[in-house]
Amino acid sequence: MTDRKKRREEKARRARTRQQSPSELDGAVELLDEVRAALDSGEPIELLGMVSMMILATDPANNSEAESTDLRELIGAFIGTPLLETTALLAALSELLDDGMLAARCRHALVARHDAVPAWLAQLQQTTVRQAMLMTHVLGDADELILGVQFADGREMSSAVHIDHLQSSAVKDAFFVPESINTVLTVAKASNDDPDTSFVELPLDQAAARLRDALNREPAIPGQVSDTWPNSRALLSWVAGLLPDSENAAPQRVSENRGEFVDRFFAALVGLPFNRPGYRALLDISIDAGTGDPLRWSSARLARLLAGGFVTPELIPAEVQADLPRLLRAYVPFAHAEAGIRDELTAEALAAIDEFADDYRASVLDDDQLD
């Protein structure tokens, strides 16, 4: 580019800047400063996290403010302001956006840009997920999916995704750190003192299946937010897209032999008193609540079941519904014995049943009297 052409472009940029209102100018300067700081940090997560938040903030579905910024207008402003910082934003947006037309618009604009962005950003499409680990508890209330991401220049970052099986197996939280997965795992294992928590490496297609399934699910309690979620959703969705095809690796959480196991319970000595009309349906509904696992019952799962507004069909008599705590007291130890769950965890589960039993029974019988 000739010096004369550079001067013309700089003059045009200053003219566009003068046309902005003071508040718009302040916001633009602040954004450019933040982008420059993110680039200077040398950590990809700084810029990518910023862009992920930008995508969320400009999504009308997530922004109730009447005057929310339109992402198309924002991208237009970036395209019309040829600077290193806007080039960096367009490069990140071209990968993180799930709107194909907007992403293509960003890529088209980048063809005319020749700014010296970092190698990891210039080759962002070559980023890979190199390893996936699953941290899980034996009772299965939640999983922590840990992914190691590597950029084209060798830089690394990791994500930790909390998948809550008590809330429809949706993503409850997710965050990224500028560390390798080896470093993250070393810290996680060193700080873990729970004998019932394990770390298992997952094939990437299985990790993809778990992550995509969780991202596609709506949380049982909508609107829950943390400091990092859903701010990191666009970034996490991009990482999910880096993983291999997962059509043949769908996550399986419900036992294929559930019906056979429940039959064995009702035929066993502890289950015989409940082998009567209504109890099988009541147990099936209870199993479906929470994690859906027939063999593993945490105190948290049982507390939600008995104290969280548990709904049963009207065809189940109220006196049978009211007997759920007694049914669970018989079933949970039977299930835990099958799964090899420690006695201490079974004792905690039974204590939770006892804690909420009276209030649950009173609630069921009160509702029946109102009807």
Instruction: Render pLDDT for 115-136 as a digit per residue (tens, 0 to 9).
Output: 999 999 999 999 999 999 999 9
Alpha carbon separation from 54 to 120, 159, 190 (Å, rounded): 20, 19, 35
What DSSP assignment string belongs to 314-345?
TTS-HHHHTTHHHHHHHHHHHHHHHHT--HHH
Distance CA 350, CA 345 (A): 9
pLDDT of 175 higher than 80: yes
* Region 191-213 average pLDDT: 97
Under the banding of pLDDT at 50, 70 and 90, the label for residue 66 is very low
Distance CA 249, CA 233 (A): 22
368, two tokens: 């029946």
DSSP H or E segment with residue 146: strand 142-150
* Region 363-367 average pLDDT: 83
Annotated domain spans of the chain: 3-124, 127-242, 258-370
Q: What's the pLDDT score for residue 112?
A: 96
Under the banding of pLDDT at 50, 70 and 90, the label for residue 18 is very low
pLDDT of 256 higher than 80: no
Q: Are strands 142-150 and 156-164 parallel, antiparallel or unpaired?
A: antiparallel
197, two tokens: 């928590």
235, two tokens: 């970034």
Any idea what the Cα angle at residue 121 is, between residues 116 and 112, rounded to 5°?
50
Do you find a cis peptide bond into 230, omega within 30 degrees of 0?
yes
CB 327 within 8 A of CB 276: no
What is the residue whose two structure tokens read 């604009």?
109
pLDDT of 224 higher than 90: no
CB 348 within 8 A of CB 297: no
**8-state DSSP, 125:** G
* Region 267-271 average pLDDT: 98
Diameter of the chain by CA atoms?
92
Under the banding of pLDDT at 50, 70 and 90, the label for residue 55 is very high
Under the banding of pLDDT at 50, 70 and 90, the label for residue 17 is very low
* Region 269-286 average pLDDT: 96
> Residue 197, SS3?
strand
CB 228 within 8 A of CB 175: yes
Higher pLDDT, 256 or 349: 349
Under the banding of pLDDT at 50, 70 and 90, the label for residue 347 is very high
Helix axes of 324-339 and 299-307: crossing angle, nearest 10 degrees = 160
What is the residue whose two structure tokens read 């400063």?
33
Give pLDDT tens digits for 78-115.
999 999 999 999 999 999 999 999 999 999 999 999 99
Q: What's the pLDDT score for residue 63?
A: 64
Give the chain's radius of gyration (CA, Å). Answer: 27
CB 207 within 8 A of CB 251: no
Q: What's the pLDDT score for residue 119?
A: 98
pLDDT of 19 higher than 70: no
Amino acid occupying residue 95 = E
Average pLDDT, the chain: 90
pLDDT of 21 higher than 50: no
* Region 154-166 average pLDDT: 98
Under the banding of pLDDT at 50, 70 and 90, the label for residue 22 is very low
Q: What's the pLDDT score for residue 2?
A: 55
Q: Give the burial string for 122-141 (b: 16+ CB within 10 Å, else e).
A: bebeebebebbbbbbbbbbb
Higher pLDDT, 4 or 203: 203
Q: What's the pLDDT score for residue 221?
A: 76
Distance CA 15, CA 282 (A): 71
Q: What's the pLDDT score for residue 219?
A: 82
pLDDT of 280 higher than 90: yes
Under the banding of pLDDT at 50, 70 and 90, the label for residue 25 is very low
